[in-house]
Amino acid sequence: MTANTANTSDNVEKFMDIRSVALAKILDEKGQGLKVVGIYCTFCPQELVLAAGAVPVGLCGTREDPIPAAEEVLPRNLCPLIKSSYGFALTDTCPFFAFSDLIVGETTCDGKKKMFEIMQDIKPVHVMQLPHQHKSPHSFALWVEEIRRLRSRMEEEFNVEIKDEDIWKAIDLVNREKKLLKDICDLNRLSPPRMSGMELLTVTWSSGFSHDKEVVVEMLEEFKDKLESREIEPDAAHKPRILLTGCPVGLGSEKVVRLVDELGAAVVAMENCSGYKTLELLTDKNGNDPVVALAHKYLNIPCSCMSPNPYRMELLDRMIDDFNAAAVIDLTWQACHTYNIESHEVKKLVKGKGLPFLHLESDYSSSDEESLKVRIEAMLEMMGK
């Protein structure tokens, strides 16, 4: 290993530490009145939270541990992400949840919106009514109103005034963060890719847990520099290039990313929402109402909850070309109807481009690792690995 590779790996580890550093900081500042807002999904306009002077923290829902507890209340055949999210809240085992003064949820899929109703018993949850159409004017009007409602709720809850200029500042900060994340992901367009699948996941997923966006932006800048000059074993160029799409994946639910790595292929890009899904969507800074600007950005997110959801197919189509993917894996969680059904469209797109397509349906347990492995391996064999 050359000096530079070692350095870059150290940098990836720094991202793994984000959570513990953030926790220590939050614990420290909580006494001085720091407000924390727990968010579950990329639809939550975190710019507003920042403008309120509060810290938006990602609540993960990517681990299996609290699922049995959640199943005492929720049905078993529910998506593991929802069960895990609720389980952490119920068992009080997620410190970020414990520190949150307010939880923000959205009516994305049915499972989530009904779960948020029950979660109210544990913490105050503000649920935003997300309309499910990207383009219609009434959807847009509703979403603008919903963002305004969140703004007032936080002003009341935290006893602050959220000023337009602060929202614009936050917009700039989040834009910078997304831009950097995109630049970093884009380095994997190169052959050999600059990051392994697990590194890519660690960096993109962990940045969401920070207590201070300025700090993350600095870390990302430094990481990008390191990555640009990273020396990669030339052999890595022969690894089959895989694009991963589907339900959200994080550390704790990374098994497919890990298996692909272990089987000698490379996840070069992830379209999921912890990955590339939102990275092209920067908020336009030229308008005169920051709430309208935010509404534009967020209503474009190509989540399968949107109906129809053409932008996801456009994005995938371009990503397959840009990242020179040799195959696509669509990982959907059991009982996630929207992604499971949309898999049909993804399959048509991918096969239409003449690439192998593998739809994997799984949950957070390790019980099906063997059979996932057989499928992934068979696909790689099929590609003539």
Partner 1 sequence: MITVGMDIGSVASKGVLLSGDKKFSLVLPTGWSPRDVGEQILANLLAESRVELEEVDSILVTGYGRVSFDRAAARTVTEISCHARGVAALCPETGTIIDIGGQDSKVISINGNGKVLDFAMNDKCAAGTGRFLQVMANTLGMDVGELAAFEDPSAMVKINSMCTVFAESEIIGLLARGSSKGGIIAGLHQSVGKRVAAMTRRLGVKEKIVFTGGVAQNAGVCRALEEELKHRIVVPEECQFTGALGAALLAAG
CB 24 within 8 A of CB 97: no
* Beta strand pairing call for 125-128 and 102-106: parallel
Stretch that binds ligand SF4, among 74-82, 95-103, 224-232, 308-316 (CB under 6 A): 74-82
**Whole-angstrom Cα distance, residue 168 to residue 304?**
29
Out of 22, 82, 216, 266, name the contact with ligand SF4 by CB under 6 A: 82
Does residue 296 interact with partner 1 by CB under 8 A? no
Stretch that binds partner 1, among 40-48, 159-167, 325-333, 376-384 (CB under 8 A): 376-384
Does residue 339 interact with ligand SF4 by CB under 6 A? yes
Stretch that binds ligand SF4, among 104-112, 211-219, 313-321, 363-371 (CB under 6 A): 104-112
Write out the binding residues for partner 1, residues 37-76 only, by CB under 8 A. none
Out of 323, 333, 357, 364, name the contact with ligand SF4 by CB under 6 A: 333
Residue 381 Cβ vs partner 1, minimum distance, rounded to whole Å: 5
Does residue 197 interact with ligand SF4 by CB under 6 A? no
Does residue 122 interact with partner 1 by CB under 8 A? no
Does residue 362 interact with ligand SF4 by CB under 6 A? no
3-state secondary structure at position 38: strand
Question: What are the angstrom distances between the C-alpha of 364 and each of 82, 89, 334, 355, 372?
Answer: 11, 18, 9, 27, 12
**Whole-angstrom Cα distance, residue 258 to residue 247?**
16
Nearer to ligand SF4, 80 or 193 (CB): 80
What is the DSSP code (8-state) at residue 207?
A: G
Residue 78 Cβ vs ligand SF4, minimum distance, rounded to whole Å: 8
Out of 174, 305, 331, 360, name the contact with ligand SF4 by CB under 6 A: 305
Binding mask 331-360 vs partner 1 (x if CB under 8 A, - otherwise)? -------------------------x----
Residue 333 Cβ vs partner 1, minimum distance, rounded to whole Å: 14
Radius of gyration of the chain (CA): 20
**Whole-angstrom Cα distance, residue 378 to residue 115?**
37
Cβ count near 277 (within 10 Å): 20
Q: What is the largest CA-CA distance in the chain?
A: 62
Out of 37, 41, 291, 376, name the contact with ligand SF4 by CB under 6 A: 41
What is the DSSP code (8-state) at residue 237?
A: G
First to last CA, the chain: 25
Nearer to partner 1, 129 or 371 (CB): 371
**Whole-angstrom Cα distance, residue 137 to residue 143?**
10
Interface size with partner 1, residues (CB under 8 A): 10
Q: What does the block give as tokens for 198? A: 């697990």
Does residue 103 interact with ligand SF4 by CB under 6 A? no
- Give the closest residue to 87 by CA, choosing from 57, 114, 64, 113: 64
Does residue 381 interact with partner 1 by CB under 8 A? yes
Binding mask 231-270 vs ligand SF4 (x if CB under 6 A, - otherwise)? ----------------xx----------------------
Residue 357 Cβ vs partner 1, minimum distance, rounded to whole Å: 8
Residue 38 Cβ vs partner 1, minimum distance, rounded to whole Å: 33
Which uninterrupted H or E stretch holds 208?
none
Residue 224 Cβ vs partner 1, minimum distance, rounded to whole Å: 38
Does residue 57 interact with ligand SF4 by CB under 6 A? no
Can you list the pairs that 234-240 forms with residues at least 24 positions away whose Cβ atoms lie under 8 Å? 234/192, 235/192, 236/192, 236/193, 236/266, 237/191, 237/192, 239/192, 239/193, 239/264, 239/265, 239/266, 240/264, 240/265, 240/266, 240/326, 240/327, 240/380, 240/383, 240/385
- Give the closest residue to 5 by CA, choosing from 205, 185, 217, 236: 236
| Binding site residues, ligand SF4, CB under 6 A | 41-43, 79, 81-82, 108-109, 111-112, 247-248, 273, 301, 303, 305, 333, 336, 338-339
| Binding site residues, partner 1, CB under 8 A | 356, 368, 370-371, 374-375, 377-378, 381-382
